[in-house]
Structure 1
Amino acid sequence: MKFLVGFVVASFFCVANLALAGGDEYGMMAGNGCVNCHGVEGRGTTVGNIPPLKGRSKEFLVTAMEGYKTGTLHGTVMNRVMKDFDAQKIDVLATYFSSIK
């Protein structure tokens, strides 16, 4: 019985957190790898002069990611990171980071 009550309470908190997350859980999950360098929610960092992603226009982010993917832009690791990203994942990431204010 204690297990069941604990499970119900834990489930409630998980659902409540998803509801408060703003509805873009897929974008948040897709962007998890980005936070390693660009910081939480893509806020950027002063270490290594890594730029913020949050709040940038979707068009800018798509253009930049496609540039790294095709090799028209050059970065320290971004070309390697973007090489396996498809257009759908680029769109999801651009939508997510441009929506963060």
Structure 2
Amino acid sequence: MRPVVAAAFILAGLHLATNACAQAEGARPNPTAKVTDSMAQRMQACVVCHGKEGRATSAGYYPRIAGKPQGYLFNQLKNFQEGRRHNEAMSHLLQHMSDDYLRAIASYFSELDLPYPPARAPGLSAEQQQLAKTLVLKGAPDRQVPACVACHGDGMAGRLPAMPGLLTLPSDYLTAQLGAWRTGQRKAREPDCMGEIARRLSPEEVGAVARWLSAQTLPLGTKPAAAALEPLPMRCGSSEP
């Protein structure tokens, strides 16, 4: 798709995204604003839900996309476009876009370097915090649940080329995504490793991990880890863009 045509689809889709998110964010479109044909302007449809320049918003659901690996962002755009993930606004925005343009969108957000929110109390008991830290750092080998750090990087900031960072994402979002994998509402390319992992976790474990991850933070300038030299602990279709 040519950039100008793609821009038209994005700007048109902004109205749908605005309707979906305006109530939560208090957002209001400005019909008198001058539109310039730049990548930042085209991405305004994304900003309505994901926050300024791709940061997570205070709405409690929409994830930060700034600084995520380009391969991960491209995979998620394709998952929405091809129906493995479900969101009306995302599907509408992406339905006519070419792979080249989706890669351009993924590249734009992957290159943003923005501060993470400060750490805050997770609201977990000491027992729940220990449970979450054990699953994140060590996994549950008896149930073939690998440690989160094995795929998402020791700093949990993601791993190239296509594993996302998980720290500071809203706990509601993390809980919803793990729940969607558990029930088959969210899928990835086969073999769908996250679907397998989520189904091996209890609802209590999902809640503890989600709240613990959301309460951590990362220093400014943190980047996704380099690609792993050793094979991942599970075969994962989404590990490559």
TM-score normalised to the size of structure 2?
0.31
Unaligned runs of 5+ in 1: 1-22
Alpha-carbon distance in structure 2 between the residues aligned to 1:81 and 1:36: 13
* Structure of greater Rg: 2
Residue number in structure 2 paired with 1:84: 200
Q: Contact 1:31 / 1:93 at 8 angstroms: preserved in 2?
A: yes
1:27 maps onto 2:132 in alignment: yes
The alpha carbon displacement at 1:99 in A equals 0.9
SS at match of 2:159: coil
Residue number in structure 1 paired with 2:174: 61
What is the aligned length? 78
Q: Contact 2:180 / 2:186 at 8 angstroms: preserved in 1?
A: yes
**Match of 2:181, as an amino acid?**
Y
User: RMSD over aligned Cα, in angstroms?
Assistant: 1.5
The alpha carbon displacement at 1:92 in A equals 0.8
Greater percentage in helix:
1
The alpha carbon displacement at 1:46 in A equals 1.7
Unaligned runs of 5+ in 2: 1-125, 138-146, 218-241
Alpha-carbon distance in structure 1 between the residues aligned to 2:155 and 2:203: 21
TM-score normalised to the size of structure 1?
0.70
| Aligned structure 1 segments of 4 or more residues deviating by more than 6 angstroms | none
SS at match of 2:165: coil
Sequence identity of aligned pairs in percent?
18
1:24-60 per-residue CA deviation (whole Å, 9 max, x = no partner) reads 333211212111111124211122x111110100000
Moved more, 77-86 or 25-34: 25-34
Residue number in structure 2 paired with 1:50: 163
Alpha-carbon distance in structure 2 between the residues aligned to 1:67 and 1:56: 16
Q: Contact 1:44 / 1:51 at 8 angstroms: preserved in 2?
A: yes
